[in-house]
Amino acid sequence: MQLDDEEKAMLAGEMGEIAKLALEHQIQVGDFFGARDFVPVTQAHIMADTESLGQAGVMWLEKLADARDGRNQVRVPTITDPRGTDFTHADDLGQASWMLELERRAIAAFEKLGVAMTDTCINYQTVLAATRGEHVAFGDTGVVIYSNSVCGARSNFEGGPSALSAGLTGRTPRYGFHLEARRQATLRVQVDWTPRKLDEWGALGGVIGRLAGNYWQVPVIDGIDRAPTSDELKHFGAAMASFGSVAMFHMVGVTPEAQTLLDTGGEKLAPQLVGRADVEALIQSYRVDRNVDVVVFSAPQLSLYELRALAALCDGRQFKVPLLAVTSPQVKPDCDRFGITRRIEAAGGTVLAGMCFYQSYAREIAEAKGWKRLATNSAKLVNILGGYGYAPMLASMEACVQAAERGELQ
């Protein structure tokens, strides 16, 4: 890779041993993907839940944080994805003390490195949305696809060490979605129906993700008849990334790089048709049972507006089975202040902050609580939780709330 003077100085150790280690890692990543040089980034976002890190990963973080020369601070604003717990509700979830201790150690190491513990996968709704053309180093797949597609920013899926390295060096290898050529459409999807509910938007994203099938595919979607909301695009993109590893999409007339089909190069592609029947088939494929052990709203974390809608559905109900609503630490105080938390919890629900259900030892939670049949309105979550021993079911927010009250999906 071609290095500028600052990068050469980093590689020589002139800016500290941690910057040198980080740049060495990034050069290996850049060489693997054929990057010619680095591109400066303005912010980084790290996926680093301790379920994924494990003991070895946390020890590696602690080693970086305890650098002998003391030069170990991130160079650009660097934030975190959800943690593995909400400490105030860890006992309610049946999480063991060793899980919490590992979390505390990881948090302490990140803080020594200058990382802001935002603990959110919806930073584009809460912290600071990246802007069109801004080069960033983001880790969470839902964050990356939203930032690339809806915001017009530029990021690849950055693994934990790569995202942290970007924070420590202020740059990332210039490959993939940092390049104009990679952002052109490779798959054209024509839809004849626009979803109305979040589970339907997620299911549509899942259908298109399966069609795409790999990271380098860039779908362009035509036929959506109105501007989707941020929450609708959030569920749509997160599911597409989960079902197909997709990092970017275009939506004609909606996303900033697709005012027309021609902007994306999609006019040269033969359209593949996706309709309401395809979406309903995906939803029905997850209707494996009627009985429900737990209802979970998570993945992505809920916005203030989602929680407000949930609270309205909770009014006047009493739940037979647990209902968990997961949001960010930035949104939770507003929910408390507006009385939203109180209304959800008055019905028997629980509002959690700073975590994400599938990153929080979901298998161990299921064993501790006896949960197997899980209802959610998140297509991303149902796609993941089957691997954690759950029988996940996809339904609308309204149907999920009703299931919490009755103990079964209608």
pLDDT tens, 187-227? 999 999 999 999 999 999 999 999 999 999 999 999 999 99
- Residues 322, 219 within the same domain: no
- Residues 115, 250 within the same domain: no
pLDDT of residue 410: 86
Beta bridge partners of 219: 187
- Residues 96, 214 within the same domain: no
Domain final residue, candidates 150, 180, 210: 180
Q: Could you report the per-residue pLDDT of 81-107, keeping only the tens digit for each?
A: 999 999 999 999 999 999 999 999 999
pLDDT of residue 48: 82
Residues of the chain with pLDDT > 90, as a percent, come to 97
- Residues 57, 125 within the same domain: yes
Residues of the chain with pLDDT > 70, as a percent, come to 100
Fill in the amino acid letter for 38.
F
Domain final residue, candidates 231, 261, 283: 283
- Residues 168, 56 within the same domain: yes
Which CATH number characterizes residue 86's domain? Answer: 3.30.499.10
Q: Distance between CA 365 and CA 380 in Å, rounded?
A: 19
Q: What are phi and psi of 195, to 5 degrees?
A: -60, 160
pLDDT of residue 4: 97
Q: Could you report the per-residue pLDDT of 291-342, keeping only the tens digit for each?
A: 999 999 999 999 999 999 999 999 999 999 999 999 999 999 999 999 999 9
- Residues 84, 174 within the same domain: yes
- Residues 258, 321 within the same domain: no
Fill in the amino acid letter for 88.
T
- Residues 30, 155 within the same domain: yes
| Number of structural domains the chain divides into | 3
Q: Distance between CA 231 and CA 246 in Å, rounded?
A: 18
- Residues 151, 204 within the same domain: no
Q: Could you report the per-residue pLDDT of 21-52, keeping only the tens digit for each?
A: 999 999 999 999 999 999 999 999 999 889 98
First to last CA, the chain: 58
Higher per-residue confidence, 289 vs 252: 252
**Residue 396 structure tokens:** 């609308």
Average pLDDT, the chain: 97
Checking if the pLDDT of 1 tops 90, the result is yes
Q: Could you report the per-residue pLDDT of 116-132, keeping only the tens digit for each?
A: 999 999 999 999 999 99
Beta bridge partners of 116: 79
- Residues 173, 189 within the same domain: no
Domain final residue, candidates 126, 158, 180: 180
pLDDT of residue 68: 82
- Residues 386, 373 within the same domain: yes
Positive/negative CA dihedral, 234, 236, 241, 242: positive
Domain that residue 206 falls in: 184-283
Can you tell me whether residue 179 is helix, strand or coil?
Answer: coil
CB 294 within 8 A of CB 324: yes
Residue 70 binned pLDDT confidence (cut-offs 50, 70, 90): confident
pLDDT of residue 52: 87
CB 210 within 8 A of CB 110: no
Q: Distance between CA 354 and CA 337 in Å, rounded?
A: 17
Give the list of residues 6+ apart from residue 381 with CB closer than 8 angstroms, or none: 296, 298, 299, 357, 358, 392
This model's pTM is above 0.85: yes
- Residues 202, 254 within the same domain: yes
Task: Tell me the pairing of strands 219-222 and 294-302.
Answer: unpaired
Q: Could you report the per-residue pLDDT of 163-194, keeping only the tens digit for each?
A: 999 999 999 999 999 999 999 999 999 999 99
pLDDT of residue 242: 98
